[in-house]
A and B are shown apart, each in its own frame.
Chain A
Amino acid sequence: MKQFIKKIAFYVLMSLLLFNGIAFLSLQILGKSNFYKPEFVKNTVIDTNFDYVVLGSSTGLTTLDTKLIDSITNKKGLNISMDDTSLNSHFLMLQHFKASNKSAKCLVLAVTPWDLKNKNPKLNNNDYRFLPYVQEDYVFDYYNELETKTFKPLSFSRYFPIIGVSYYNTEIFYPSIISFFNSNKRNHFDDKGNFCYPTNGKPNKLEIDEIEVVINNPFYFKIKEFCSQNNIKLRIYISPIFKTKLKIHDDSIIDQSNFLIDEEMFYDNIHVNQIGRRKCSIEFAKYLK
């Protein structure tokens, strides 16, 4: 028995050392790459001061083309939106943006009415993209707060990187290999952080919905506070939603929800395609001016 336990302990220890080493390397490589948005913000974006940044989920990522807006307004913008996220991730991204020594005069917070209303934010599907920076307190605290189960793969990665790297192996380990061979590889966004949907999608809604915009999400208030502490002007932006009327009580919200009616401009019910994106960006430039 003694021999058995010794042998098992030895191999477990060896495996822990070896595979944690590999996982650590994997996170290091990814952390120095451009693959995902957090890494792009930290490593690729050379400018440190921006006139505005667009922060949101897929609607922010695919509606406002900062390249086009900059060419119209002569301002300097950046899109730091990430698909499949919500206000809590946006708050994390904002902290990360600041921690990467970047600043902006105006934050365009591209959100959906549903996200603003959500009282119980949860960890998002793409939050693992901050894993290379889990040693930073703001990332660790975020994971620790939102991982509600006893087993917290993202938080535990601060001490055992192999946990997060193997839990998210297809999302972390393989991209790190790709980044090792091609450090310029970006995962579906351009050098200004934008992405657009093609024109082959269609919305599929028949009746018009009416939604009241209510702000309940605690992370919105955290973002608001963060902006006021850092002298950043905060503007909420709502992108086009097919056949949806919004009841908005706050005049400061930039509302484009009804700006597009033609279904040819949409990729699906809540995302515009590249034609819609162009129209929205030109219109948005007017607000920015």
Chain B
Amino acid sequence: MFFNSITFAIFLPIVFLLYWFVFNQSKKSQNTILILASYYFYSCWDWRFLFLLIFSTILDYTSGIMMGKYESKTKRKFWLWLTISINLGFLGVFKYYDFFASSFAEFVQGFGLEVQPYLLQLVLPVGISFYTFHGLSYVIDIYYKRIQPEKNFIDYSLFVCYFPLLVAGPIERATHLLPQVKIKRFFQYEQGIQGIKLILFGLFKKVVVADNCAFFVNQLFENHTNFTAVELWIGSFLFAFQIYGDFSGYSDIAIGTSKLFGIELLKNFNFPYFAKDIADFWRRWHISLSSWFRDYLYIPLGGSKGSKWYQIRNVFVIFLVSGFWHGANWTFIMWGGLHAFLFIPLLLVNKNRRNLSNVGYSYKDFPKIILTFLLVSLAWIFFRADSVSIAFDYLHRMLQFDSISIQFYIKNAKYILLSAIVFVSSFALLLLEWCFLKKYNGEIVLSKGMLFLLVAMLLFMGVYRNQLSFIYFQF
């Protein structure tokens, strides 16, 4: 059940009405209906994986209780590592086993040995990377006594399976979400209205911007050798818009949906294409994942403490792991590594924290914004390409300016129309976001007129006929 599907458009109002009108007597009934709705939502993909989700919930819950029970560090450590091992074990089997097996076989073949790897070829349970990290943050926080273990199983289950964030985040923290599910929610008009606005804005990003870009991007990346350098450059920019529209659109819909149930989720994007450098970009892109890695990996590794070499090592570790988290493919590792390379120079000259706060923009920032966007777009090529060699070849062909033709984008009336839609919608998105940044300090504020315009663009420019899944569902 995609957020941009008719099924969800029917599911959401039903759950909303049940939640506020039938099951609104107590926190317990509110949480119960949300859990049931979440399990139904998840089982729409593949009901068999529901057992995995429930098992993971029981494991993390039990582990939390056990860690809370013991004062002995050894026993707490045992439960922590047991939970981490099992959770990462599932992730490893479902997501990474085939990659490691085939990579090992290729490596050994390099020495002249013939090895046929045994591949599992399992279907990846949707959202596994998200809910695993969700649970891990909970048990790690308990281990370090940052939070108390949750004793109420219903409350904890909702923390793990809450449907707006279940399949693609934002990756929530127990410290943020659990206190909200532990109290009865009361409907707040402003929160509800803001939720609807966010849902519409998210749908616009996904259905209008991302899915129209996908029409060109898919063709370009499937057969990049047929296109000119200029067409490939445009393609890399279009993918930048596609992935942003797709993922931030999803996050907006998730946050907006959650607001309808009186629950606030963590912000996941903060206008990343207006970042002034790579470090700034990572403070704005997939914030819930970046901050997860910062808190549970980077800081335990020593973070920015210690010598420069240690800092560089830590930066590489966090970016490579972040890349690998996205998918079991060398392309994602390369993508992460490339971002580490782009980040290191800032670290070396101690400028990685210079744009920490949104201090506003001046005309001098525009070249920095454009340069950052350019670098990010080039790195996205590795993210999108099927293999590292294809990504390098794509980059190589981008530099061969033997023709400046953009025939691909205007080859017939349909292509001209879609090019125009892509251009207008991407431009409208940037303009809106710039307006939110400058005028409303990053708040998404949409007037009635803007909302009608968004709905009109959704209806007359959106992609419905060949509906596309969200890119991050595969992670």
Contact = CB atoms under 8 A, between A and B. Distances in A.
B363 interface: no
Interface residues of A, number: 20
B193 A169 contact: no
Nearest to A125: B465
A19 B417 CA distance: 21
Given A8-B196, A151-B6, A166-B460, A19 B20 contact: no
Given A15-B452, A162-B459, A1 B465 contact: no
Contacts of B20: 1
B6 A173 contact: no
A151 B6 CA distance: 8
Contact of B460 (A3, A11, A18, A173): A173
B417 A166 contact: no
Contacts of B189: 1, 3-4
A1 B460 contact: no
A259 interface: no
Contacts of B464: 153, 166-167, 169
Interface in A5-26: 7-8, 11, 15, 18-19
A166 B208 CA distance: 12
A19 B455 contact: yes
A185 B280 CA distance: 51
A97 interface: no
A251 B20 CA distance: 71
B462 A169 contact: yes
Contact of A169 (B192, B455, B461): B461
Given A1-B20, A4-B189, A7-B193, A170 B459 contact: no
Interface residues of B, number: 22
B193 A19 contact: no
A4 B192 contact: yes
Contact of B455 (A1, A15, A173): A15
A15 B193 CA distance: 16
Interface string B447-470: 000011001101111101100000
A186 to B, nearest CB: 12
Contacts of A1: 20, 187, 189
A25 to B, nearest CB: 12
B465 to A, nearest CB: 6
A138 interface: no
Q: Which of B20, B456, B459 has the most C-beta atoms of chain A within 10 angstroms of its own C-beta?
A: B459
B414 interface: yes
Contacts of A151: 6
Interface in A167-206: 167-170, 173-174
Contacts of B456: 19
Majority DSSP secondary structure for residues of A touching B: helix
Contact of B465 (A19, A167, A173): A167
A15 B465 CA distance: 21
B338 to A, nearest CB: 36
A134 B459 CA distance: 20
B260 to A, nearest CB: 9
B147 interface: no
Interface string B8-48: 00000000000010000000000000000000000000000
A1 B191 CA distance: 11
Contacts of B187: 1, 4
Given A8-B196, A15-B452, A168 B459 contact: no
B91 interface: no
A68 B460 CA distance: 41
Contacts of B435: none
Nearest to A4: B192
Contact of A4 (B6, B193, B417, B421): B193
B3 to A, nearest CB: 16
Contacts of B462: 166, 169
A13 to B, nearest CB: 13
A203 to B, nearest CB: 20
B321 interface: no
A47 B193 CA distance: 57
B66 interface: no
B369 interface: no
A174 B417 contact: yes
Nearest to B189: A4
B385 interface: no
Interface in B157-202: 187, 189, 192-193, 196
A4 B188 CA distance: 9
Nearest to A18: B452
A164 B146 CA distance: 54
Interface string A17-60: 01100000000000000000000000000000000000000000
B414 A170 contact: yes
A170 B418 contact: yes
Nearest to B456: A19
Contacts of A162: 459
Given A19-B456, A169-B462, 19 more contacts: A1-B20, A1-B187, A4-B189, A4-B192, A7-B193, A8-B196, A166-B459, A166-B460, A166-B462, A168-B465, A169-B459, A169-B461, A169-B464, A170-B414, A170-B417, A170-B418, A170-B421, A173-B460, A174-B417
24 contacts: A1-B187, A3-B189, A4-B187, A4-B189, A4-B192, A7-B193, A15-B452, A15-B455, A18-B452, A19-B455, A19-B456, A151-B6, A153-B464, A165-B459, A166-B460, A166-B462, A168-B465, A169-B461, A169-B462, A169-B464, A170-B414, A170-B417, A170-B418, A174-B417
Q: Which 9 A-B pairs have the closest CB atoms?
A: A166-B459, A1-B187, A167-B464, A4-B192, A151-B6, A169-B460, A173-B460, A4-B189, A174-B417
Interface of B: 6, 20, 187, 189, 192-193, 196, 414, 417-418, 421, 451-452, 455-456, 458-462, 464-465
